[in-house]
Amino acid sequence: MKRFGEVIRLKKEYLEEYKQYHANPWPGTNEMLKKCHIQNYTIFHRDGVLFAYYEYTGDDFEGDMKLRAEDPETQKWWELLNPMQEPFENREDGEWWSKMEPVYHLD
Amino acid sequence: MKRFGEVIRLKKEYLEEYKQYHANPWPGTNEMLKKCHIQNYTIFHRDGVLFAYYEYTGDDFEGDMKLRAEDPETQKWWELLNPMQEPFENREDGEWWSKMEPVYHLD
């Protein structure tokens, strides 16, 4: 199992709308996450910054992320939600959320 | 079980030292965390910001945090590590790391 931490900015004017969508996530996009071996996924917010923590239990992360990106419902979700976010300028090629470096872990 | 996300800044000049300490954490401070019902604790870094994710399985969070704060080894750890960090000015009273608001969760 691999743990991921990712970060992105949220445009302040969309905070309430973003929270509302995530308090009532679509069953199909949630199902797709599980199908792609994502578990224990939590998003936190503070002062215009979103932090996501999740665990990946599969053995082909890139393949699973590609599968997820091909899902029409997930694409619709992103079309709605991505414009509310503002990715960091120095993110890696192909990233939207920026991956963080794990520096400590305790089971 | 309750999930926590917390954030603090790390002074850039201490990045390597901070990482080294956390790659070799003290057995006593780790043990104390477990005693205080903290599990699945990960710290991530990116661009001078630290994000911590952990799960609390007890039923007296404040009591457990007080217990932890009274542990001499944990105090020594903080004496070494805290000066490397720079808390957010708008943190809550009594906070060092700032708690984030959970906005989404998938088991």
pLDDT tens, position by position, A25-47 = 999 999 999 999 999 999 999 99
The DSSP secondary structure of A51-82, one letter per residue, reads EEEEEE-SS-HHHHHHHHHT-HHHHHHHHHHG
Set of chain B residues whose Cβ sits within 8 Å of the Cβ of A35: none
Region A46-75 average pLDDT: 98
Longest dimension (CA), chain A: 38
Dist. CA B6–CA B9, nearest whole Å: 11
Residues A48, B90: contact at Cβ < 8 Å? no
pLDDT at residue B63, rounded to an integer:
98
Dist. CA A69–CA B9, nearest whole Å: 33
Q: Is B12 on the interface with A (CB under 8 A)?
A: no
Which domains occur in chain A, in start order?
A: 2-87 (3.30.70.1090)
pLDDT tens, position by position, A78-87 = 999 999 999 9
- So what's the ipTM on this one? 0.96
Q: Which pTM was predicted?
A: 0.97
> Which of A23, A41, A46 lies closest to B7 in CB terms?
A46
Asked whether the beta carbons of residue A18 and residue B103 sit closer than 8 angstroms, the reply is: yes
pLDDT at residue B9, rounded to an integer:
98
> Which of A25, A41, A101 lies closest to B46 in CB terms?
A101
Confidence class for position B98, pLDDT limits 50, 70, 90: very high
State the Cα angle at A74 between A73 and A77, rounded to 5°.
90
Set of chain A residues whose Cβ sits within 8 Å of the Cβ of B47: 88, 90
pLDDT tens, position by position, B25-83 = 999 999 999 999 999 999 999 999 999 999 999 999 999 999 999 999 999 999 999 99
Q: Is B53 on the interface with A (CB under 8 A)?
A: yes
Where do we find the tokens 């994000």?
A: B51
Q: How far is A38 from chain B (nearest CA, A)?
A: 9
Region A62-70 average pLDDT: 97
Burial of A30 (0-12, 13-18, 19+ CB in 10 A): middle
